[in-house]
Structure 1
Amino acid sequence: MFLWHYYLALPLLITIQIYKAQGCDEFTDLGLSHAIIGTSLKIRLLLYTRDNVTCGTLMSHTNLHAHPQFNLSRPTTFIIHGYRPTGSPPMWLQNITEMVLAREDVNIIVVDWNYGAANVNYFKAVENTHKAADNLTAFIKKMQEHGSSLSSIHMIGVSLGAHISGFVGANLNGSIGRITALDPAGPQFTGTSKEDRLDPTNAQFVDVLHTDMDALGFREPLGHIDFYANGGADQPGCPRTILSGTKYFKCDHQRSVFLYLDSVNQTCTHKAFPCSSYKEFLDGKCLNCDSFGSAGCPVFGYDITKWRDVLLKLGQTKTFFTTNSVSPFCMTGYTVDVVIWNKDERWGYITVKLHGDDGKEAVATIDHKALKFKSYTETKLFAQFDKDIQLVKKVSFKFSTGNAFKPKYKLRVLRLRLTHLEGKKRPLCRYDVILEEGKEVTFRPIPCEESNF
């Protein structure tokens, strides 16, 4: 009986020993003490594939054959983090690795340069970006010698990692397939020549997201297409005062990664609109995407390559979109057309609420500036709702002037019209309604009489 149990347990024991022998290599975890002392550059490359989604393999920089799961016939995605002032690993690394592998069968190489990025002296970390890029360039050239195609390489760089990606691309004469830059670092890069920062010539296609351009990020366009989420600066839900501690400094900057994760995971579709400024975008003056032909407006994120050919023809393109404060970050756009019959002009703000048959509500507040309403003149507004209501049963409107010391006004509305930007839903209207300042009016909309539907 003892021998029988022994022979049954033996394969299990062997399996456990093999697993222990293999182990998993993890991103370098440093502490604040390392950052205070300062760290010298050291590059570790952690490989993940569909065969080892959650278990990293530390790669050799020279012997690629030492890693049988590294298939050079597959595309390769490099993920490059940024500055690490406390030395801790990025909290999003595992998520992005798993999500990309769920979408595509690729080699993922996490570039761990925490030794070099962990330093309270930001300028030292900046100095290390060129050295890190040279190291990666040598590795990619080794890949190329073994048959890998440069056009199948995608580099996703965050903050300083975005510029490292650019330097690698420049070293390889812009031959790599794609660079995705998530809020490229601004300090020490703003105002420099294209040789000292990310540039559209660094890859065959460069897409860039800006979320903190007034602090840690870069303000000017850097890619073939640049997305400015919420104007590229203050992100919804992020603290506005230093009393919130470290979150005040990193929330806007870090939001770039979480927006991108939503796009990889297909949680959200952020339709972006080409425009010269965020103000014009909020005014609803940039809702036309005819320049993109049948492809329509570009969608931010992982799948932007569907618009690659038209973007390469158009040249550098600035686009804007807005988000919610938490995931899912996507919003739903409508145009709201208002015609009043007041004798005098009215100025104020509008809040619109959509009510679904399932009890759900979506709210849009148009308050980026005071709106002008003039008798028998259509005022076109751009309303962005925090969620999409599939079947709108009721609509609420509220008019306000923002001035508590003046008499209350009434907005005598001849017609209200709501049109879904996707054009898939029938425009909804309401005729002859009075909006008293500060009071919400709820009604059932009807199909618009002048609609082509």
Structure 2
Amino acid sequence: MDCLQVLLIQLTVMCGLGLIYPATGFILFALSTGKVFGDKDANNTVCYDELGCFPTSDPWSSVYRPLFPAPESPEEIGFTLTFFTRNTGPSILDGLTLGFWPEIKFNTTDFDVKRPKTYFITHGFYASGNSSWMSDMKDALLKKEDANIFIGDWGKGASNINYFQAASNTRVVGAEIARFIEYAKKKYKLDPSRIHLIGHSLGAHASSYAAKRIPGIGRITGLDPAQPGFEGTPKEVRLDKSDAQFVDVFHTNIRPFIPTFGFGLISAVGHVDIYFNGGLDQPECLIPKNVPIATLADIAKIKFSVLSHYISCSHTKAYQYFTATINNDCNIWARRAGRLRSLVNAVTFGNIEPITASVLKCSKKACTTSGFLASLFPARGVFAANTVSGYPFCDTDSERDKRILNEIGLEGDDDDDDEESESPKNEDSSGKDSTNESTTSKIPQVLKTIKTDAIEKPAESFLSKTKTIASKLPFV
């Protein structure tokens, strides 16, 4: 029985209890996982040489992260970095793998801090540095520009069948990446502003933890950051726009983890958050229409290969889209969506609607491009993008590109009278970054602003159910 089968069994049990909202379901899912796999002391703090201490008290353990264990040791996680440049052979085996313990060993004359960028690419749950998408992305980046590229491999720590242990291990992974960056700063005078961290799923949060330790990181790209254990948590626990000078996030699988098998973060957490094809499911990733699903019994009848494809397909599209934006001259254009609407979608978990917008008309504040070149465009906020079927996922109409680029180059504000404008900083009068508050703290504010039964009732119900469940749990 593999990891995905175990997850499906647990999901089915939780759904069978009649759970509707993911916060409630996730709590019981975590409890069941702890009993199945065992768990470490919830109040344990572990310390590792060169990396520091990792407490498990609040905010690392909460109603959104019940029974999260302390991260495993560096030896158990087995993190490595493998270095590549244009001078390296094409195979993943041609890279130079660094030694980390007891001290960092990085002996090469090919590492050049004068190169425009230094990239760190990190995988997620149940993956490894040998994943083909990482090699594909590395090759695309090196074809595009002369760069230093490091592929992070924490396959031992990511392959723990207990997802919660793997999620906790990202804290050590982030610390290891930060440790090497500090080393490169001292030995080679590496400029953090030239660093671009790219992470998929749990790797996005690992990238966040690295950046939190290194002031001035240039950019983080989160490719469908993991949802379970991170949704609704404070910025210390998850990827956040305060982690780097520019943070862009791809959202491709924002369905609630329970009961609809979504693995991607729902909330907008970056300077630019792009929801692809509505954000819920991606084209070619749907369960066939001839497979009716009306009850849990219907799910049980679906072939495992079909169901596993459905669960992972949308989540993995994020890195496919990003790599395509490096490889091709056409753009996956995105247009700003209403910030308030996207926030309501995020907090009413059981009633998420696709986040959509049209690029029929653009301006410098309304439209941006997805992926590789996103940091060069001025627009900030929540965006929606549509892909075309099949690689390279972008419209190759050069006249359309010229029209949009011309509109973005025009002076003046965008004319979205029906949408709430969003400041790049999103600061309230106290100077506090309002977008860094937890999701639940924003629910009352949303309800004061919009008074419709379609929004108000689900949000109030979600908040009430979450608080009721939380009050009965012994660890809260």
Aligned partners of 1:282, 1:166: CA distance in 2, in Å? 27
8 Å Cα contact 1:212/1:253 also seen in 2: yes
What is the Cα deviation at residue 268 of structure 1?
3.5
What is the match of residue 285 of structure 2? 238
Q: 1:209 aligns with which of 250, 265, 276?
A: 250
Q: 1:191 aligns with which of 223, 228, 232?
A: 232
Identity rate, percent? 32
SS in 1 for 2:203: helix
8 Å Cα contact 2:195/2:218 also seen in 1: yes
Runs (4+) off by over 4 Å: 35-39, 62-65, 277-284, 387-390, 420-424
How many residue pairs are counted as aligned between the two chains? 297
8 Å Cα contact 2:224/2:252 also seen in 1: yes
Aligned partners of 2:356, 2:192: CA distance in 1, in Å? 40
* Higher mean displacement: 54-63 or 226-235: 54-63
Q: 2:335 aligns with which of 273, 279, 287?
A: 273
- Indicate the structure with greater strand content: 1
Q: Which has the higher contact order (CA 8 A, sep 6+)?
A: 2
What is the Cα deviation at residue 89 of structure 1?
3.5
Aligned partners of 2:106, 2:164: CA distance in 1, in Å? 37
What is the Cα deviation at residue 71 of structure 1?
2.0
8 Å Cα contact 1:268/1:329 also seen in 2: no
Relative distance call for 1:53 and 1:229 in structure 2 (3 A) is farther
SS in 2 for 1:164: helix
After TM superposition, the score normalised by the length of structure 1 is: 0.60
Deviations 1:321-368 (A, max 9, x none): 11123212124xxxxxxxxxxxxxxxxxxxxxxxxxxxxxxxxxxxxx
8 Å Cα contact 1:267/1:328 also seen in 2: no
What is the match of residue 166 of structure 1? 208
Relative distance call for 1:121 and 1:289 in structure 2 (3 A) is same
Q: 1:102 aligns with which of 138, 143, 168?
A: 143
- Indicate the structure with greater helix content: 2
Q: 2:373 aligns with which of 300, 303, 317?
A: 303
Aligned partners of 2:186, 2:129: CA distance in 1, in Å? 35
8 Å Cα contact 2:279/2:354 also seen in 1: no
Q: 1:112 aligns with which of 123, 143, 153?
A: 153
SS in 1 for 2:120: strand
Alignment of 1:210-229 (within 5 A): 210-214=251-255, 215-229=262-276
Deviations 1:229-268 (A, max 9, x none): 0011110111326531421110000000111111010154
Deviations 1:63-88 (A, max 9, x none): 55512222233231000000116x69
Alignment of 1:78-157 (within 5 A): 78-84=120-126, 89-146=130-187, 147-157=189-199
After TM superposition, the score normalised by the length of structure 2 is: 0.57
Alignment of 1:39-438 (within 5 A): 40-54=76-90, 55-61=94-100, 62-63=103-104, 66-74=107-115, 75-84=117-126, 89-146=130-187, 147-173=189-215, 175-214=216-255, 215-240=262-287, 242-243=302-303, 244-266=306-328, 268-276=330-338, 284=358, 287-292=360-365, 297-307=367-377, 310-311=378-379, 317-331=381-395, 388=397, 423=403
Aligned partners of 1:230, 1:58: CA distance in 2, in Å? 38
Relative distance call for 1:223 and 1:140 in structure 2 (3 A) is same
Q: Which runs of no fewer than 5 residues in structure 2 stay unpaired?
A: 7-36, 38-71, 256-261, 289-301, 343-352, 405-476
SS in 2 for 1:66: coil
Q: Which runs of no fewer than 5 residues in structure 1 stay unpaired?
A: 1-30, 332-386, 391-419, 425-453
Deviations 1:97-152 (A, max 9, x none): 11100111111000011110012211110010111111111111011112110111
Structure 1 counterpart of 2:196, one-letter code: H
Instruction: Please report the RMSD computed on the Cα atoms of aligned residues, expressed in angstroms.
Output: 3.0
Greater CA radius of gyration, 1 or 2? Answer: 1
Aligned partners of 1:53, 1:223: CA distance in 2, in Å? 35
Deviations 1:147-175 (A, max 9, x none): 110111100111101011111111123x1
